[in-house]
Structure 1
Amino acid sequence: MVTLLETDAVLKRGLAALAKSDPVMARLAAEGATPQLRKRPPGFEGLAWIVVGQQVSTASATAIWGRLRAILEPATPRRFLALSDEELRAAGLSAGKVRTLRAVATDITEGRLPLDDLHNLPADEAHNLLTRVKGIGPWTADVYLLFCLGHPDAFPSGDLAVQEAARLAYGLEQRPDAKALNALAESWRPWRGVAAKVLWAYYRMVKAREGAPA
């Protein structure tokens, strides 16, 4: 069983383990890059929200989600599959997002994606199950595992803010790509998710010092 990031006590355990094993993580935490618990609803609704928000502004995502949620009641895979493409496009979903969410809903209802059981699996195994769904990429899978399930070892190595924070924190010459960042993150197991949260917090700190929006 995986101990999820559902309480401050678990988060503090993760931060202490990272600080003990990695002096850079210890320094970032000491400088104030301490993350807060943030969690969105798990299940189909949470994954759908992440897909809806991709490649659009926060304001647009909120508006589209509001229109979709108004016709998606209850917010279940079967209800989504009952909606027509015309209804979904009218809510603001692109054709690609309609296809992705139909694939997600179909795989859940047909038993290929055990979404309700992913929290009990190792992060890599849960990640692989999610990315088998057509349209679900590595970033979407890892963000769902971290922010909807609270998986402590989910690690969105493709996130640009996490990559840039790692470059700054570790004094790297260039921003690491996903492969390089995954290699760096090996030493953070089983708390890679907490490390990602620290790096996000550090990124926001840097941007705040620069006077730029995070």
Structure 2
Amino acid sequence: MLRFTKENFVALCDKLSANDMRLNSIVSEYGYPPLWTRPNTFETLVLTILEQQVSLASAYAAYKKLKERLGKITPQGLLSLSDKDLRSCYFSRQKIVYTRGLAETIVAKKINLKAFETKEDAVIRKELTALKGIGNWTVDIYLLHALQHADVFPVGDLALVNAVKMITGQSFTKEEIMAMAETWKPYRSIATMILWHYYIKKKNIKLLH
């Protein structure tokens, strides 16, 4: 299982950039992307679910509110809250269902996040997408940020798709973008972070955390 780490991240950025003119131009102009990682926890998965199809600002507002309420966000803590409590933390009806379902699955020991650290992507994807409200984008972001798998390409991510559009000056289908990303194997996670970095810099987006 290939992983990126604090130790090899810059070397992997250099390796990809050396073989790709566009990635090279991003790193030359904007420097290396931040090492965007998150701990492999229930809290991280809750944040990722909150980030589905909304702005990062609104997702983070809900996450912050929940954190203020619970301190540490655990499955047991989330399950102790009523729908009304979660709505007061800016959770939509759907996000209440999704996060509660995940919490129940972990409490029932049907899913073990720690065990995912030694499992293949396909196995993790199968287990997580079996849960309501967790699709491929959520799994991709989890594999990339929390497990630091080196070859993840979240083609369902709008910022990534827009970055590809901006750097090439063209629109592509998801299939075409996936085909383009073949050249970045087995380090598609690194290419993703370079492209995110480009998008954030070009759009002058202020990250909240």
TM-score (norm 2): 0.82
CA distance in 1, matches of 2:166, 2:78: 42
Residues 147-166 of structure 1: matches in 2 within 5 Å?
Answer: 147-166=145-164
59 and 160 in structure 1: CA distance in 2 versus 1, 3 angstrom threshold: closer
Structure 1, gaps ≥5 residues long: none
- Aligned partner (choices 184, 189, 195) of residue 185 of structure 2: 189
Match for residue 11 of structure 2? 13
Q: Which stretch of the first structure deviates more once superposed, 18-27 or 151-160?
A: 18-27
1:31 aligned counterpart, secondary structure? helix
- Aligned partner (choices 174, 179, 189) of residue 178 of structure 1: 174
Identity, in percent, stands at 34
Deviation of 1:10 (Å): 1.4
Deviation of 1:48 (Å): 0.7
Aligned Cα RMSD in Å?
2.7
1:207, 1:213 within 8 Å by CA — same for their partners in 2?
no
Structure 2, gaps ≥5 residues long: none
> Can you list the C-alpha shifts for 1:35-83, whole angstroms capped at 9, x where unaligned?
1112233210011122224444444434322332234354222332233
1:163, 1:177 within 8 Å by CA — same for their partners in 2?
no
One-letter identity of the residue aligned with 1:19? S
2:128, 2:134 within 8 Å by CA — same for their partners in 1?
yes
- Aligned partner (choices 66, 69, 73) of residue 67 of structure 2: 69
One-letter identity of the residue aligned with 2:199? Y
Indicate yes or no: 2:203 matched with 1:207: yes
Deviation of 1:167 (Å): 2.4
CA distance in 1, matches of 2:113, 2:72: 17
Indicate yes or no: 2:91 matched with 1:86: no
93 and 39 in structure 1: CA distance in 2 versus 1, 3 angstrom threshold: same
CA distance in 2, matches of 1:63, 1:204: 19
Deviating beyond 4 angstroms after TM superposition, the runs of 4 or more aligned structure 1 residues are 55-59
